[in-house]
């Protein structure tokens, strides 16, 4: 996602990037809060980001700040709390709402009105697309491009001739 969104360079080796992030995050899974230092985790994530030339987004920094606040509050309330076990049901529900069947159903509900207005016009649009004479459009565009190239060539010839004449004139005046 970092590469696709442009936060990381296109030439980033995704397998190496994933492995580096996994090496930072996996050691804290299934550990109680008292054994986790989000400060160290964040520092290592920033180092990994720097190594892979990832742009740190402001919203990510805010999320990390929130994690540090949660760590401090959580240690005061219940140092034995396992954040992952506690968060798992909420994360699962959220994922289902975003990309699961529930999310798909909600997306269809939102998009159905737009589909209903488009559906009657669909056969006409398909017919127009299939019967359109694209060849004629391309011929017109090619002719326009040829005319532009010809005009550009003439301007180049005129400019080169004038500059050459000017250079010769300057050379002759200096003699």
> What is the residue extent of each domain of the chain?
14-86, 133-174
CA 51/CA 69 separation, integer angstroms:
26
DSSP 3-state assignment of 116?
Answer: helix
Q: How far is CA 25 from CA 19, 22, 71, 142, 146, in A?
A: 10, 5, 15, 56, 58
For range 121-135, the mean pLDDT: 82
Residue 146 has what pLDDT? 94
pTM score, whole prediction: 0.44
Tokens of 2: 């970092």
Q: Which residues, 6+ apart, have CB-to-CB distance to 51 below 8 Å?
A: 20
CA 143/CA 149 separation, integer angstroms:
10
Radius of gyration of the chain (CA): 31
pLDDT at 148 over 90: yes
Q: How many CB atoms lie within 10 A of CB 28?
A: 16
DSSP 3-state assignment of 133?
Answer: coil
Q: Percent of the chain at pLDDT above 70?
A: 100
CA 171/CA 175 separation, integer angstroms:
7
pLDDT at 84 over 80: no
pLDDT at 27 over 80: yes
Residue 43 has what pLDDT? 85
pLDDT at 8 over 80: yes
For range 102-123, the mean pLDDT: 88
Taking alpha carbons only, the member of 9, 39, 11, 13 closest to residue 24 is 39
Quote the mean pLDDT of the chain: 84
pLDDT band for 1, please (50, 70, 90 cuts).
Answer: confident
> Which residue bears the tokens 């529900």?
93
Is the CB of residue 41 less than 8 Å from the CB of residue 28? yes
Residue 135 has what pLDDT? 75
For range 80-99, the mean pLDDT: 82
């Amino acid at each position: 996602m970092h590469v696709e969104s442009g936060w990381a360079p296109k030439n980033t080796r995704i397998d190496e990037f994933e492995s580096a992030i996994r090496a930072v995050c996996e050691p804290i899974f299934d550990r109680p809060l008292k054994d986790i230092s989000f400060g160290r985790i964040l520092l290592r994530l920033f180092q990994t980001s720097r190594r892979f030339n990832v742009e740190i987004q402001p919203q990510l920094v805010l999320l990390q700040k929130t994690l540090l606040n949660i760590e401090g509050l959580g240690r005061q309330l219940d140092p034995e709390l396992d954040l992952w076990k506690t968060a798992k049901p909420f994360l699962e529900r959220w994922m289902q709402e975003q990309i699961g069947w529930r999310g798909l159903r909600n997306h269809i509900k939102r998009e159905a009105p737009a589909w209903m207005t488009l559906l009657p016009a669909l056969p006409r649009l398909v017919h127009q697309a299939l019967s359109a004479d694209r060849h004629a459009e391309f011929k017109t565009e090619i002719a326009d491009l040829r005319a532009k190239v010809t005009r550009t060539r003439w301007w180049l010839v005129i400019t080169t001739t004038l500059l050459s004449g000017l250079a010769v004139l300057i050379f002759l005046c200096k003699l």
